């Protein structure tokens, strides 16, 4: 699998506009492991705990994370990476 022609993996600080709304790519405050965890110390369940299976969609994972995930990482004993999880957040206009 690869990205479509002209498409690149977003980097922190990237800006995009969708339907007149401007978004910035930034850290979510979670690591990938915490975001998809059922229980995170001090934070409870991560926001993506019930969508963890989506990590097995290679095309989506390549676009969002620049890599794919194994079944063992997603559901098994091998932990997900402890690297920052990024999201597109609306840029507030002042």
What pLDDT, in 10s, does the model give residues 41-82? 788 888 888 888 999 999 988 888 888 999 998 988 888 888
Measured CA to CA, the distance from residue 53 to residue 50 in angstroms comes to 8
pTM value is: 0.72
Domain boundaries, the chain: 15-90
What pLDDT, in 10s, does the model give residues 7-19? 677 889 999 999 9
φ, ψ for residue 3 (rounded to 5)? -70, 155
């Amino acid at each position: 699998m690869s990205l479509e022609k002209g498409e690149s993996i977003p980097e922190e600080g990237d800006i995009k506009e969708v339907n007149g709304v401007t978004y910035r790519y930034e850290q979510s405050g979670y690591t990938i492991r915490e975001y998809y965890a059922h229980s995170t110390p001090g934070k409870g369940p991560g926001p993506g705990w019930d969508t963890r299976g989506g990590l097995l969609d290679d095309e989506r994972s390549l676009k969002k994370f620049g890599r794919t995930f194994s079944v063992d990482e997603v559901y098994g004993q091998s932990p997900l990476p402890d690297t920052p999880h990024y999201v597109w957040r609306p840029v507030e206009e002042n």
